[in-house]
Amino acid sequence: MMTIIFNSEFYDSDYADNPAADPGRMEVIIQELPTDKFHYKRAMPAEISQIELIHTKDYIKSVISDEKVSTIALLSAGAAIKAAEEAWSGNCSMSINRPPGHHAYKSSAWGYCYFSNMAIAITHLINTRQLKSAFILDFDAHTGDGTIDCLKDNKAIKILNPMGHDREEYLKIVENYLKELKDIDIVGVCAGFDSYEKDVGGKLKTFDFYAIGRMLRLYAEKNCKGKRFAVLEGGYYLPDLGKNVLAFCEGFGDE
Ligand SMILES: [Zn+2]
């Protein structure tokens, strides 16, 4: 059973005025992930020392000076850390969290992000567990430029932001990349559902999120003892967001 990392504080839509903070956005996802099919664990806030693994002190200070943003951004990073820890202990997991993180640089941010949730989670894991390398697939419609900035000094972390003109080409890029990818200890996913055909990315169908999840599951089972986790990034077409997250989880989670 796949583990979902969540905290009802993520329902808070007051912390910012942007599409990631939209009211109802978390609700449409959680209602598609029922407790009889998914094992829920509660997200806890990250420690400042964990944020400091990636971000500069001055930048952290500026983010946490806003109390509302501070509370939810620390919780969001903490959710990603928890998802990574679960994955390392053998439970495939996904954090349903916001704000997203993949546009957060070491000392600046944009695109509704504050802290680089994925970079913090992976770096925390590398520093505290017996692993060296990681693969990050970012299937958000937008390139995870922040994740790249935060992790660029670690050559053992490979990051793929697939592009591609259409969905067939997109899936092929992922498939071909995985064929060549060796010596990976864990798979992390920046799961952005704005690449959906009715969202800003205008490309992938619901089934494609299942297909991507499945490719990653098979890769992880074969190459890194099944260790894999995902963190939520974008995804703004609320009528279908929940079913797209579910489709991904059905491919990504244990059969
Ligand atoms: Zn995006």
Say what the pLDDT of residue 254 is.
Answer: 87
CATH class of the 2-252 domain in this structure: alpha beta
E strands, the chain, in order: 2-6, 38-42, 93-95, 134-138, 157-160, 187-191, 228-232
pLDDT tens digits in sequence order for the chain, 255 residues long: 999 999 999 999 999 999 999 999 999 999 999 999 999 999 999 999 999 999 999 999 999 999 999 999 999 999 999 999 999 999 999 999 999 999 999 999 989 999 999 999 999 999 999 899 999 999 999 999 999 999 999 999 999 999 999 999 999 999 999 999 999 999 999 999 999 999 999 999 999 999 999 999 999 999 999 999 999 999 999 999 999 999 999 999 987
pLDDT at 255: 72
Q: How far is the CA of 153 from the centre of ligand 1 (A)?
A: 24
Distance of CA 36 from the midpoint of ligand 1 (Å)? 30
**CA 140 to centroid of ligand 1, rounded, Å:** 5
How far does residue 233's CA lie from ligand 1's centre (Å)? 7
Neighbours of 43 (CB within 10 A): 25
Domain ranges of the chain: 2-252
What is the model's pLDDT at position 164? Answer: 93
Residue 195 alpha carbon to ligand 1 centre in Å: 7
Can you state the angle between helices 238-252 and 206-223, rounded to 10 degrees?
A: 30
The pLDDT value given to residue 11:
98
